[in-house]
Amino acid sequence: DVKVTQSSRYLVKRTGEKVFLECVQDMDHENMFWYRQDPGLGLRLIYFSYDVKMKEKGDIPEGYSVSREKKERFSLILESASTNQTSMYLCASSLTSGRSGYNEQFFGPGTRLTVL
């Protein structure tokens, strides 16, 4: 069974802290994504990676960076956490080849981050 795991379900951090959110997939997928989900705003793409060490900005990259050193792992980094980054963060992965492309994404359970 396909699996995307995220390092924490709940996380509480203080303003100004550096925060790492980790995501691991076991499906050998090329693509990995980080989204944030807020009430009334749906899912918004933060960053996307289509290969090791490759990344592209999504709709809302400001205040975030990412790292993909290995194919199965995609990390989201908040360099200096702020209260407006309190949100649910969702990681996903997908294949590149075939008709599905980016459409059939497999999501992790999410990390609810609270920044105080």
The angle subtended at Cα 111 by Cα 110 and Cα 116, nearest 5°, is 150
Asked if 68 contacts 53 with a C-beta cutoff of 8 angstroms, the reply is yes
User: For the range 52-57, what are the long-range contacts, defined as Cβ-Cβ under 8 Å and sequence gap of 24 or more?
Assistant: none
Residues at the site binding other proteins, with contacts judged by CB under 8 A: 4, 31, 33, 35, 40-45, 48, 50, 56-58, 90, 92, 96, 99-110
Residue 16 Cβ, how far from other proteins at the closest point, in Å? 28
Complex with other proteins: residue 15 or 54, whichever CB lies closer: 54
Residue 53 Cβ, how far from other proteins at the closest point, in Å? 15
Place of tokens 């379900």: 9
Complex with other proteins: residue 45 or 77, whichever CB lies closer: 45
